[in-house]
Amino acid sequence: MCPYDLGLAGGVQQLTIELVDRLGRSGHDAWLVGPGHREGARSVGSTVRIRANASSVPVALGPKVGTRVRKALTGADVVHIHEPLIPHVSWAALRTSIPKVLTFHADAPGWARALYRRLDRPIGRAMRSSVVTAVSPVAAASVPLRWGPVDVIPNALDVAAYFQNRERTESRVTFLGRDDPRKGLDVVLRAWPAVRAAHPRAELVVIGGVRSEGPEGVRFVGRVDESTKRDLLASTSVHVAPNIRGESFGIVVVEAMAAGAAVIASDIPAFVDVMGGTGVHVPVGDAPALAAAIVDLLGDRARAAAVGEAGRRRAQEFDWSKVTERYVSAYERAVG
């Protein structure tokens, strides 16, 4: 179960879509439930956008959601609820008697953690009777101890699909993400003039976010399909992830690592954990430091290649072949 619009791009949507596919390949009868429209999924209604975690999220609200959720879950032995505290889809699933696995994705802000404590009376029993997981130590730290223990099962991707043994475009830098303030696009755009001054042929390709104009040498390609995204990441020399806050994992970082790009990321805890010492970190929001790190890697192709290869090896830890087995084990514990 995904509480966010299945017809829109997002990390939770991507994980749930791919997990259902992987479970099916393993012989399990799995189906996807959520709001919005996606072929093959069981929809529980349309969505509206609400503000949360310095971003906006598309969720389903209204009195009919509960009825639709219960109908969509008919026949399930276990329900895997991603982001179990997001209204109203996840709330409705929590109220069913079906065995549950719960996955927390977010680095919850202080107000949300306080809300979790206040919610203990109405939902604490459901939490304590479920198998609780989180995608990273950062996300796990948001879960009240009395709901635990929390099993950390990371986000995953098909690592082999991202690596292409090809020549990289010299001086190409990529950014992948929405144009939300916390994703850090403003940081890299502020850094870019200094990069161009040192490397006049440098090109910044912005995947996802779109603006009408930017500094010289910046190309906005907007939302692209998976194949195009992988091609761009495989052709890049350096990938930047200057996110400011609110990240609990960093799937875009792992995608770039899997593609073999040299990754420069902000030093937020989630990115430090995911990269495992394989990339370059800069202070949060520090555009001059980001510019200097990009200039250094673009000027040293051997070092950039070594950083990219280390990241590619690290990305193997997040391959679906390992993660699917861990979720199946969680389902078996929940049913048992």
Residue-wise pLDDT for 107-127, tens only, equals 776 666 677 777 766 677 888
pTM over 0.95: no
Does residue 161 register a pLDDT over 60?
yes
Q: What's the confidence (pLDDT) of residue 127? A: 84
Q: Of 153, 211, 157, whose CA–CA distance to 179 is shortest?
A: 211
Q: Cα–Cα distances in Å, from 155 out to 35, 177, 257, 321?
A: 21, 17, 14, 12
- Strand pairing category for 218-222 and 203-208: parallel
- pLDDT beyond 70 at 314: yes
pLDDT of residue 112: 66
Contact 147, 127 (CB under 8 A): yes
Residue 183, helix vs strand vs coil: helix
pLDDT at 57 over 90: no
